[in-house]
Amino acid sequence: MQTQNELLRERLQTGFLGIIAFALLLFLLVQARFMLICLAVAIIIFSLTSDAIGAIARRRVPNWLATTLALIGIGSGLLWASATVVSQINEVVTTSISYAEQMQAALPALLEWLGPEAQQTVDTAIRNFNLTGWMRTAAGSASNLLSAAVLIFLFVGFMFAERAWFPLKVESLLDHDKEAALRVRKIITSIMRRVNRYLVVKTLVSAATAACVWVIFTLALLPLAGPVALLTFILNFLPSVGSIVATLISVVLAYVLTGDLGTTAFIAIACSLVQFAIGNVIDPMLLGQTLRLSSFGIILSLAFWGAIWGIPGMFLAVPIMVAVMIVCAHIPWLRPVAVMLSREGHPDDGLTD
């Protein structure tokens, strides 16, 4: 009896310590969100460019030259992306000011079928909308974006500087067990390859979808074709919900900008067909069995990381989930987590890549 009580007490203590550790982890994730988001993005960029550097090095190009070219490309890409987002935000702000009165009249008419109470609610929300505050928030976000680009570039640069010593560090951490170190490096390599393939495919698919949306808005002679295409490109990285949100935004903007139901119906049908064809045919065909993740697990991951890190966390949710599933598949007492995260209940350890 005394042995059972001691065992129960130890289990309770372990449970309480686990809860405290999890709460502390959440606290640190929230408090250091900016730095951790930049670090996660830097790791992804480092993973993507490492393969590119390896391909360049195999063409008898010195490693230092390949690394330098990669860093120049990363810095230029980050600055270009930041400048593009800032310019599109400015275009949206300028257009919003010129279409403010038209939007105030169009949105209640769009929701007329919901009844007078819904119209009154929308009208009140529009009247209480602080455009000046929104513009200040957009300007602050643009400033944070530039700061994040600089921090990500620094992280990636130091990762390249430490890349040559990483295998030795892994071996030292495992008490110079070469077989265990090799296994850990294979696991890390499999995670990088899975995430790289997912991001490359999603980038191509999202770019194709954004190009089609831009063509649709241009053919309809609507403004904001560039910002809507950029928003579609970004939202398509969110599994399941991103394409739906992008289509709804396109339809609402089309009605606000034109007030014509015919043009709005054209935009709705065209964007829906593009999202359906690319999202349900081309995307699965290219990704194939790369992820093997549970759809419900993806939604939970989106919700969790969205609550912790906001919108950037939602974009990082799938790569983080891939890494967690592969790591848990190699740890016996965490394997049930990998089983729940996998699609068929057979978690992939990544070593077959």
How many angstroms separate the Cα of 60 from the Cα of each of 54, 68, 160, 254?
10, 15, 19, 52
Residue 32: phi and psi, rounded to 5, are: -105, 30
Residues 6 or more apart in contact with residue 254 via CB below 8 angstroms = 217, 220, 222, 263, 264, 267, 268
270 pLDDT more than 80: yes
Non-local (6+) Cβ contacts of 307 within 8 A are 313
Determine what percent of the chain is predicted with pLDDT higher than 90: 1
CA distance linking residue 79 with residue 189, whole number of Å: 28
Distance of CA 188 to the CA centre of its chain: 20
Q: How many CB atoms lie within 10 A of CB 129?
A: 13
> Could you report the per-residue pLDDT of 19-77, keeping only the tens digit for each?
888 888 888 888 888 888 888 888 888 888 877 776 666 677 677 777 777 778 877 88
For residue 303, name the pLDDT band (cuts at 50, 70, 90). Answer: confident
Phi-psi domain of 285 (left: phi exceeds 0; alpha: psi -120 through 50; beta: other): alpha
pLDDT tens track for 319-352? 888 888 888 888 787 788 888 887 776 666 555 6
Contact between 348 and 325 (Cβ < 8 Å):
yes
Q: What is the pLDDT of residues 234-252, one digit of tens each?
A: 888 887 788 888 888 888 8
Q: Which residue has the higher pLDDT, 120 or 178?
A: 178
Identify which of 188, 213, 202 has the alpha carbon closest to the alpha carbon of residue 271: 213
Q: How confident is the model at residue 109 (pLDDT cuts 50, 70, 90)?
A: low
The number of angstroms, rounded, from the C-alpha of 228 to the middle of its chain's C-alpha atoms is 18
More confident residue, 306 or 345: 306
Write the CA distances from 150 to 38, 144, 324, integer angstroms. 9, 10, 28
Give yes or no for residue 18 having a pLDDT over 60: yes
Exposed e or buried b per residue across 259-280, where buried means at least 16 C-beta atoms within 10 angstroms of its C-beta: eeeebbeebbebbeebbeebbe
Mean of the pLDDT values across residues 71-93?
A: 73
- Give CA angle at 257 (251, 261), nearest 5°: 55
Burial of 174 (0-12, 13-18, 19+ CB in 10 A): middle
Extended strands (E) in 38-130: none
Confidence of residue 211 (pLDDT cuts 50, 70, 90): very high
**Does 126 or 321 have the greater pLDDT score?**
321
pLDDT value for 132? 54
Q: Whole-angstrom Cα distance, residue 248 to residue 49? A: 35
**Tokens coding 197:** 């393939």
Q: Is the pLDDT at 145 greater than 80, yes or no? A: no
* Percent of the chain scoring above 70 in pLDDT: 76
How buried is residue 230: exposed, middle or buried, by Cβ count under 10 Å (0-12/13-18/19+)? buried
306 close to 257: Cβ distance less than 8 angstroms = no
Statement: residue 280 has pLDDT above 80: no
Q: What is the DSSP string of 47-59?
A: HHHHHHHHHHHTT
Say what the pTM is. 0.75
Contact (CB, 8 A) for 216 and 270: yes
What Cα–Cα distance (Å) separates residue 306 from each residue in 151, 178, 311, 315, 321? 22, 39, 6, 9, 13
The answer, yes or no, to whether residue 12 has pLDDT greater than 60, is: yes
Q: Which of 6-15, 100-109, 144-153 has the lowest mean pLDDT?
A: 100-109
Phi, psi dihedrals of residue 163, rounded to the nearest 5°: -60, -40
